Homo-oligomer: A and B are copies of this chain.
Amino acid sequence: MKMKVKVKNKSRLDDFNKYKSHKGLKTSQKRLSIIEYFLKEDRHFSVEELYYEVKKVYPKVSYSTVYRTLKLLADSGLARICSFGDGTTRFEPAHKAEHHDHLVCQRCGTIIEFKSTEIELLQKKIAQKHNFLVVLHKLELYGLCANCKKKARRH
């Protein structure tokens, strides 16, 4: 299992290296650390979150570098930008081609991913009705996750 994750991240790193040489970028240890951490963790990050977590492991990285690296990841296709209306941008690992949507807990911030081909089918129908060409879609359900719901019940 762990092996599989490692292999996957390896191939994602390879993707980044392709992008890197295409763009004439250089390899810095700091940037690499950030990218590896992001790939290893494999979850949503705001710049701030990633900054503080990476800093624990590699204390010398700066905020700007995390910023720039996340943008690079987005440009290279390894990360996807998503915002949940709280004013900060989040980056999610882009598991190629596998589009998914989000359940966002308004209390604890937990993000759950889901996918529904049925919904996507209905979306297509709606677009057709309006003669609209859909390039991408965004579906977010906001509310309380199981945990917070339980807490809310006992006030």
Asked if A130 contacts B142 (CB within 8 A), the reply is no
> Is A57 an interface residue, CB under 8 A from the partner?
no
Would you give the shortest CB distance from A114 to chain B, in whole angstroms? 5
Asked if A62 lies at the interface with its beta carbon under 8 angstroms from chain B, I say no
Name the contact of A114 in the complex, choosing from B103, B118, B130, B141 (C-beta under 8 A).
Answer: B130
Residues on B with beta carbons closer than 8 Å to the beta carbon of A123: 119, 139, 141
CB of A7 within 8 Å of the partner chain: no
Query: How near does chain B come to A154, taking the closest CB pair, in angstroms?
Result: 15
- In A82-126, the 8 Å CB interface with B consists of 83, 85, 103, 105-106, 112, 114, 116, 118-119, 122-123, 126
From A127, A141, A143, residue with most partner B Cβ within 10 Å: A141
Asked whether B135 lies within 8 Å of A126 as measured between CB atoms, the reply is no
Residues of B contacting A83 in the complex (Cβ-Cβ under 8 angstroms): 83, 85
Question: Does A136 touch B at the CB level, under 8 Å?
Answer: yes
Question: Is A145 an interface residue when CB atoms closer than 8 A count as contact?
Answer: yes
In whole angstroms, how far apart are the Cα atoms of A119 and B145 in the complex?
20
Kindly identify which residue among B130, B131, B142, B144 contacts A138, using a CB–CB cutoff of 8 Å.
B142
Closest beta carbon of chain B to A135's beta carbon, Å:
4
Q: Give residues in A with beta carbon < 8 Å to B.
A: 83, 85, 103, 105-106, 112, 114, 116, 118-119, 122-123, 126-127, 130-146, 149
Other than the known A112-B130, A132-B145, what 7 A-B pairs have Cβ atoms closer than 8 Å?
A: A112-B132, A131-B145, A135-B144, A138-B139, A138-B140, A138-B142, A139-B140
